[in-house]
Amino acid sequence: MKKQITIGACLLAISLSLSLSGCQDLTELNINPNNISEEDVNPNLLLPTVLSGTASKYNELSFIDLGGVMQHTQLDAWFDGHNDYEWTGGILSWDAYYSFLRDNELMRRRSEELGLDFHHGVSLVMRAYIFGLITDLWGDAPYTDAVKADLGGVQYNFPKFDQQDVIYKGILEELKQANTIFAKPDGTFDVLGGADLYFNGDVSKWRRFANSLALRYYMRLSEKDPAFAKQGVEAMLADANQFPLITSVGEEVLMGFVGVNSSDSWPSNTVFDASGSNFRRMKMCATFVDRLQALQDPRLAVWAKPVEIPIEVRATEPARTDKIVNGVRIVSPDVVAGIPVDTDTDYVGLPASGSKNPSAYNLNPTPGQTSMNPHVSYLSDIYRASKGDLLKARLLAASEVSFILAEAAWKGWAVPESAKTYYERAIQQSLTSWGRAADYSAYIQRPGVAFANTQAQIMEQKWIANWTTAAQAWFDYRRTGYPQLKAGPAAIRTQLPVRIPYMQNEMSVNQKNAEEALSRIEKTAYSQADNENSAWSKPWLLQGTSKPW
């Protein structure tokens, strides 16, 4: 009987609850009292979301996705996209970038409403940074009508793709606005230092970031629109007080990793990847290793491990000899007949797009997805960690700024110092960033490093300095053709790709605007069956430049 009374009481309580709730406005029931509405959100809450998301995505793009294209790294398993440019999945989607832009747009709107100059300036810089990446990667893309869906209307729900020149020149104007805001002597720059993951609320560094980013994009346009690029760079350099730039390693745009879970850690870490697969599969690329060795570059020892077991081919050994003696694998010539073998005793890289079975390279005794190849150099052990002093998302480095100025001087543009001065400063800054400042004096005098006043040399050193930031190396390669990289025999084309194709869901959902954008892309001899929407078709920036091929 007691059990029946309890059940009855419960049913009565539920009935009364439903009865009372039926009298309330249903819109009130939809409101989560723990959420903050867009109308009330504090920009300090949005700031770390935008900064961390952008930095992490850019780091993943540069270190993981494009490291293979620029032959910094190669994978020995699950390698098709990395080594051979058979892209699928995440790299094709710009959804994450536009998601960051939506949060950033809300931060911009709220900062204007509240009169917060710091957050307004930051929102303009980050808008320029993200839209710059989008157009660098895909070409034409939604820009003027993007992230405005809350305004309603077909044009915002299905935004047009702006031409690439419109986007580049638009973000340059936004960076000018940011510079003006940060220069205000009476600006409202209140910010929670911890919310600014890049500079801890230092307005002067954000101002340098804005102007250095503008410098990047003026140089990006230098082959396509040289007069515009020249005028922009010269105007900035003519007034250093009005347009301060990043000039030292301490002003670089970096973000460290928290390292407490897989989502906020360095991507190749073995702390949260129990299998160690992400670290184990990634090897140094032979193209990169061989050039660093030829230049006796001290950074190689920071980035890579010496080969664990070198190989020695001995003609004096009997046939079918294959043995390990004192940590060296000794084989007779017949064992390696017709097989490419690298017998370097220090560092061995994996050839770029070398084969459809890269895990078997250099006589690997355990080929396959779980291989542990002792005959090819792994990345340095620092890349096993979830965080560290050198494990930073590098959004814009001091060396990049100096290399841009070196190239501007080489072009004959009116800049304060010589190409040699900027070039040498860039190398010194990169060595300093990687803890090798003490090696500068010897390194700068080495053959191939000592300044020879060629664009090829400037771009080669910039390619080296762009380790872990391969996106910038790719963008430079496309407009200059340097370094003169070639696709390997297993790649699906004989040249390197020059853009990311539009994803299929964008082609179907926003079909009219996507097809109009495709009509402006130039097919090439390497586009083949992909037609216009090919990684080898040229967007506006490359059309008519004969670059990179």
Domain ranges (residues) in the chain: 40-255+468-549, 305-378
Res 291: pLDDT: 98
Q: Which residue has the higher pLDDT, 431 or 39?
A: 431
Q: Residue 59 burial by CB count (10 A; 0-12/13-18/19+): exposed, middle or buried?
A: buried
- Average pLDDT, stretch 285-314? 98
Kindly give the interhelix angle for 470-480 and 117-138, rounded to the nearest 10 degrees: 60
pLDDT digits (tens, 9 = 90+) for 482-527: 999 999 999 999 999 999 999 998 889 999 999 999 999 999 999 9
Distance CA 10, CA 4 (A): 10
Distance CA 91, CA 186 (A): 43
| 255 within 8 A of 393, measured Cβ to Cβ | yes
Res 235: pLDDT: 98
Q: What is 486-536 written as a DSSP string?
A: ---TTSSSSS---SPPPPHHHHHHTHHHHHHHHTTSBP-TTTGGGTTSSTT
**Structure confidence at residue 37 as a pLDDT band (50, 70, 90):** low
pLDDT digits (tens, 9 = 90+) for 27-36: 444 544 455 6
Distance CA 78, CA 259 (A): 25
Residue 122's nearest CA partner among 57, 202, 56, 219 is 202
**Structure confidence at residue 100 as a pLDDT band (50, 70, 90):** very high
* 3-class DSSP string for 23-58: CCCHHHHCCCCCCCCCCCCCHHHHHHHHHHHHHHHH
Element (H, E) at 234: helix 226-237
- Average pLDDT, stretch 26-47? 67
pLDDT digits (tens, 9 = 90+) for 179-238: 999 999 877 788 887 899 999 999 999 999 999 999 999 999 999 999 999 999 999 999
**Which residues are CB-neighbours of 14 under 8 A, at least 6 positions away?**
none
Res 66: pLDDT: 97
| Predicted confidence (pLDDT) at residue 355 exceeds the cutoff of 60 | yes
| Predicted confidence (pLDDT) at residue 25 exceeds the cutoff of 50 | no
Res 393: pLDDT: 98
Phi, psi of 479, rounded to the nearest 5 degrees: -90, -20
Distances (CA, A) of 159 to 25, 150, 330, 521, 534: 35, 13, 63, 18, 22
Res 36: pLDDT: 62
Residue 171's nearest CA partner among 211, 124, 134 is 124
Share of the chain above pLDDT 90, in %: 86
| 166 within 8 A of 189, measured Cβ to Cβ | no
Residue 285's nearest CA partner among 464, 90, 91, 460 is 464
Res 410: pLDDT: 98
Distance CA 488, CA 201 (A): 46
Res 152: pLDDT: 77
Strand partners, 328: 325
Q: Which two tokens stand for residue 524?
A: 């090439």
DSSP E strands in 23-150: the ranges are: 73-75, 141-142
| Predicted confidence (pLDDT) at residue 429 exceeds the cutoff of 80 | yes
Distance CA 251, CA 90 (A): 31
Q: Which CATH number fits domain 40-255+468-549: 2.60.40.10, 3.40.109.10, 1.25.40.390, 3.40.140.10?
A: 1.25.40.390
Distances (CA, A) of 172 to 95, 217, 220, 351, 402: 23, 7, 11, 39, 19
Res 192: pLDDT: 82
In one letter, which amino acid is 104? N
Element (H, E) at 461: helix 455-465
* Half-sphere CA count of 237, side-chain side, radius 13 A: 22
Res 149: pLDDT: 85
pLDDT digits (tens, 9 = 90+) for 115-154: 999 999 999 999 999 999 999 999 999 999 999 888 877 7
Residue 76's nearest CA partner among 380, 492, 361 is 361
Can you say how many angstroms the Cα of residue 420 is from the centroid of all Cα atoms in its chain?
Answer: 28
Does a cis peptide bond (omega within 30 degrees of 0) precede residue 548? yes
Average per-residue pLDDT for the chain: 92
Distance CA 174, CA 143 (A): 13
- Average pLDDT, stretch 70-80? 96
Residue 236's nearest CA partner among 217, 211, 210, 213 is 211
Strand partners, 331: 313, 322
Res 2: pLDDT: 35
